[in-house]
Amino acid sequence: MTNTPNRSVERAFRIVDELSENGGGRASELAARLEMPVSTVHDYLQALVETGYVTAENKEYRTSTRFLEVGHRQRHRLEVVKAVRDELATVADETGEHVTLLIEEHDQAVILAVQEGPDAINLFAYPGARMPLHATAPGKAMLAHMTDGRVAELVDQGLVEVTSRTVTDPDVLLEQLETVRQRGYAVDEGERIAGMVCIAAPVLDKREQIQGAICVCGPESRLGETRREEIADVVQRAANVTQVNLDYV
């Protein structure tokens, strides 16, 4: 399975990752961190600069804006983004909270768009940010509509504990997913960020395939039982509209 998937490619992106995490660096720094010979790292950096995906400014290397370009182009093409159009803004207005659109990719939940309502808490949410599926409302909303086999696989990979409230028991998770299917929306109570409650509805296409999730996040203090239900309604409506757009286009 894990044969030899082209070492050069793997190494090149290891370097990119490292650059991205530390916001840039010098050849020797990277070499030390990645435990590679300096000369090798140097060769790679040179090659990466040549491609235009890395820039060098006086021996300081950093990832270039080409990543933004590629990222945005792809996002633009994803149907969900088109379909969700101004729904996110509506939800942000109506709830006042922090609203995001997410999709599933590589077994993780990834943010594609962010819309902050007037009272939104400032979260570390930006397009491209990723998080485990089982520890978030949108993740659970999406999991609830995947095949049992797929879910089992993910469970097997282990349910990482993000906060003390994170669901790590497979049985509890499966039970919650059933609830999600019944109610039509998912909730997370400080399972990813302590003190934050998130409510998310799944976006499905006409074949009942999961395409993403719309998520509202706010502080626990502000989200009592009744307020949650209100929000759940708004989010579900937005998800439905999106679904219609998706099928129509």
Side chain identity at 123, as an amino acid letter? L
Chain positions 7 to 36 lying near a copy of itself, rule: CB under 8 A, are 8-10, 12-13, 16, 20-21, 23-24
Cβ at position 157, least distance to DNA in Å: 21
Cβ at position 11, least distance to DNA in Å: 5
Among 8, 51, 65, 74, binds DNA (CB under 7 A): 8
Phi, psi of 39 (to 5 degrees): -60, -40
Number of residues that bind a copy of itself (CB under 8 A): 48
37 binds, among a copy of itself, DNA, none (CB under 5 to 8 A by kind): DNA
39 binds, among a copy of itself, DNA, none (CB under 5 to 8 A by kind): DNA
Pairing between strand 98-105 and 108-116?
antiparallel
Among 28, 39, 51, 157, binds a copy of itself (CB under 8 A): 51
Closest by CA to 232, choosing from 22, 91, 31, is 91
Among 14, 16, 40, 184, binds DNA (CB under 7 A): 40
Residue 13 interacts with DNA (CB under 7 A): yes or no: no
- Which residue matches tokens 């090149």? 12
Q: Is the dihedral of CA 50, 52, 54, 57 positive or negative?
A: positive
Query: How many Å is the Cα radius of gyration of the chain?
Result: 20
Q: How far apart are CA 134 and CA 160, in angstroms?
A: 8
Dihedral angle over CA of 218, 224, 229, 232, nearest 10: 10
Residue 50 interacts with a copy of itself (CB under 8 A): yes or no: yes
36 binds, among a copy of itself, DNA, none (CB under 5 to 8 A by kind): DNA
